[in-house]
Amino acid sequence: MASVKDGWRGRFFEDFEEGDIYKHPLGRTVATTDNIWFTLLTQNTAPVHFDHHYASQTEFGKPLVDSTFTVALVTGQSVTDISQNVFANLGWDEIKLPAPVFEGDTIYSESRVLEKRESKSRENVGIVAVETIGYNQNGTVVITFKRTIMVYKRGHSPGMSRPEPKIK
């Protein structure tokens, strides 16, 4: 008889150790549609992101992916390892974009735990700081940032129980 096993539920405050490195499991290829939609969704009017003719006349010769998309993508890639059990994001610091991202690039990421400490204001959470890097299919680093989160301690996250399916 098969047994039911819980899926990955992310790390809680107690699971983080300074110096640990998490290689986030999913890469993501950036499509033209991603870049255009995100640019227009955020009302970024810089034509280098969505006007291929304009972008062809720049030194890059093609559209640049909106850098805020890169921040969002790499942050999202880290959620399963870093902030699945987040109470709140406290900040992104020192965002650097050392190389451009182009449509068709595949982005991967990893994070290193910089520090962790108890929260001074809440007993049910702790504070964790990480440094995250994103890199493309060639290993070229395209983004780095530090992120600080307030994360639940084990047993304090809401929504840990869920209904069972009603199978007839």
Q: Domain boundaries in the chain?
A: 13-152
State pTM to two decimals. Answer: 0.89
Alpha-carbon 39 to chain mean position: 18
Please compute the mean of the pLDDT values over residues 98-115 and round it to a whole number. 97
Model confidence over 16-48: pLDDT tens digits? 999 999 999 999 999 999 999 999 899 998 999
pLDDT level of residue 150 (50, 70, 90 thresholds)? very high
Q: What is the C-alpha to C-alpha distance for residues 82 and 95, in angstroms, rounded to an integer?
A: 17
Say yes or no to pLDDT of 159 above 90: no
CATH H-level superfamily of 13-152: Hotdog Thioesterase (3.10.129.10)
